[in-house]
């Protein structure tokens, strides 16, 4: 049994697929799963083709009509989908090339809402930093007002720290949402 990505396996089982390039196969995978990472999809396709070629399931011939060094792959008579098994993603691999990785409207709306909140917090942070810097400039320029301005300066700095914490939390949440299958 040869382990191969499930989407790639489904594409290769098509009886009409006779001759193809690695790029064509990669594009078919991307078309089947538009949210998949292009670079990782390419790597996955090349690994799958290498395994199939080593097993004698596909032939690899240089494509002379192209200026770039490309190859045309074709299924051999040994090609048998019964000897292929859908593989599991590697440990730590974020790419999930299955149709379930399509975001649901709930995930999309949560992502949009979080992005909006993040943008607002970033604007507030800049405002808070500007306020703290201005208070500092004022009490340095007018030392006699320092006692009344210093608490306001500290309040603005504390507000900045709070906003930085909120921004970090939202960024972590956004990263988690992007990595979750729906």
Convert the pLDDT of each residue in 25-77 to its tens digit: 888 888 887 777 788 888 888 888 888 888 888 888 887 766 677 888 888 88
In degrees, to the nearest 5, what angle opens at C-alpha 49 toward C-alphas 96 and 58? Answer: 140
pLDDT at 23: 85
Domain check: are 19 and 86 in the same one? Answer: yes
Note whether 86 and 6 are within 8 A (CB). Answer: yes
In degrees, to the nearest 5, what angle opens at C-alpha 109 toward C-alphas 104 and 113? Answer: 150
* Residues contacting residue 130 through CB under 8 Å, at least 6 positions apart: none
pLDDT at 98: 45
Domain check: are 61 and 145 in the same one? Answer: no
Domain check: are 24 and 81 in the same one? Answer: yes
Domain check: are 89 and 7 in the same one? Answer: yes
CA gyration radius, the chain: 27
Sort residue 92 into left (φ over 0), alpha (ψ -120 to 50) or beta. Answer: left
Domain check: are 12 and 91 in the same one? Answer: yes
Number of structural domains found in the chain: 2
Reported pTM:
0.47
- CATH number for the domain spanning 83: value is 1.10.10.10
Note whether 174 and 118 are within 8 A (CB). Answer: yes
* Residues contacting residue 22 through CB under 8 Å, at least 6 positions apart: 42, 45, 46, 49, 70, 71, 73
Domain check: are 128 and 64 in the same one? Answer: no
Bridge partners of 4, per DSSP, are: 86
């Amino acid at each position: 049994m040869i382990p191969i990505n499930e989407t790639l396996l489904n594409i290769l089982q098509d009886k009409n697929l006779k001759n193809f390039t690695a790029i064509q196969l990669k594009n078919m995978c991307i078309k089947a799963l538009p949210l998949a990472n292009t670079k990782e999809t390419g790597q996955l396709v090349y690994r799958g083709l290498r395994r199939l070629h080593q097993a004698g399931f596909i032939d690899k011939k240089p494509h002379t009509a192209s200026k770039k060094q490309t190859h045309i792959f074709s299924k051999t008579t040994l090609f048998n989908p019964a000897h292929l098994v859908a593989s599991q993603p590697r440990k730590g691999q974020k790419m999930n090339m299955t149709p379930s990785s399509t975001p649901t409207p709930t995930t999309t709306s949560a992502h949009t809402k979080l992005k909006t909140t993040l943008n607002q917090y970033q604007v507030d942070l800049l405002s808070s930093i500007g306020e703290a810097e201005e208070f500092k400039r004022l009490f340095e320029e007018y030392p006699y007002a320092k006692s009344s301005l210093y608490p306001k300066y500290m309040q603005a700095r504390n507000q900045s720290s709070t906003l930085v914490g909120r921004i970090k939390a939202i960024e972590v949440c956004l990263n988690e949402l992007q990595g979750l299958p729906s």
